[in-house]
Amino acid sequence: DEMLATHLNLSLDARLDVVATAAPELAASAAANAIAEWGRPAGDITHLVVSTNAGSHAPGTDVRLVSLLGLRHDVLRTVLQLNGCASGCAALRLAKDLAENNRGARVLVACVELTITAFRGPDKADSFDALIPQGLFGDGAGAVIVGAEPYVHERPLFEMVSASQYVIPDTEHMLTMQLGSGGIGGTIATGLPRLAAGIVEQCLLDAFGDRLAGSGGVVEWNNLFWAVHPGSSVMLDHIVRALRLAPGKLAASRTVVREYGNMLGATVIFVLDEVRRQREDPQGEGAGHDEGWGVMMGFGPGFTVEAMLLHAAT
């Protein structure tokens, strides 16, 4: 806020320079907390996955994290760029594949977002769709460690059982992102929540229906816990109605979007942490703390639906 107040016409180059410095530091702070909770040295991390929708520098945040965190110089790095709100789910999906296919691998996932490249003042030519991102998005970073076959002293939180990704045909115009002369821009169509609600149940049934179906082949969505990327409170309202969820089922998502806004890829990690907190709190929000199975879900350009079936570790 202070920078924007004193630099009303900050150029794109200047804003990208800010991101080049601030993004690695913010990501390192989140990653250091994740490593500390994990309880093993940073040198035991074998893979690094960085997801961001900010910045356009190389070397980027992934390289800076190697020195900031004291990672091994042969750590295997992957960067996901401009995947929008689905990028956190996509990064976790990639980390799952890396961990399962590289024996002993421990994957650090770091999602970092800064809105300085997108934030700007209003313009007379703006449509309402173009103004939505200006009031919705926020800065943040989240990090987790992903591995398979946990060691005795590791304490898993969620098992990522199965992942899916769907691109909905003829919806490319509904959610767009691009880096232009004024920064990162794009559109979020006002009909997007209604579109997502109309296809979300079929996407989940196609991906996980066989695993979750009860007697008669029916899936009762209220028997699961939910970690949904909260694109907006309106999006959450539509999903609740589409899946016939009890009011408290998306409590974690609502808490995060209310307190932090939409932090793009980092948001789903905040939601997972809030789900964990609420499950551990006997007086916390959300129904049915004893549910073992859950769904993580995010939406991105395409229009893309990322989903993952989770199982809470005991």
Parse the chain into domains and list their residue ranges: 2-147, 158-312
**In 3D, which of 61, 83, 68, 63 has the Cα closest to residue 35?**
68
Q: CATH classification of 158-312, choosing from 3.40.47.10, 3.40.50.300, 3.40.250.10, 3.30.1380.10?
A: 3.40.47.10
Same fold, 2-147 and 158-312: yes
d(CA 5, CA 55): 21
pTM of the model: 0.91
Spell out the alpha helix ranges (H) of the chain.
2-6, 12-38, 61-69, 87-101, 128-136, 192-212, 233-243, 251-260, 267-280
List the pLDDT tens digit at each of the 314 positions of the chain. 565 555 556 788 888 899 999 999 999 999 999 999 999 999 999 999 999 998 888 899 999 999 999 999 999 999 999 888 999 999 999 999 999 999 999 999 999 999 888 776 666 776 665 666 666 788 999 999 999 999 989 999 999 999 999 999 999 988 888 887 777 777 778 888 899 999 999 999 999 999 998 767 789 999 999 999 998 889 999 999 999 999 899 999 999 999 999 999 999 999 999 999 998 886 665 444 557 999 999 999 989 999 999 999 87
Catalytic positions are 85
Number of neighbouring beta carbons within 10 Å of residue 68: 17
d(CA 304, CA 27): 25
**The token pair that represents 177 in the structure block:** 């992102």
Cβ contacts of 183 within 8 Å, gap of 6 or more: 12, 15, 117, 118, 119, 120
DSSP bridge partners of 305: 166, 299
Q: CA 237 → CA 90, 148, 245, 256, distances in Å?
A: 23, 35, 10, 15
Second-level CATH architecture of 2-147: 3-Layer(aba) Sandwich (3.40)
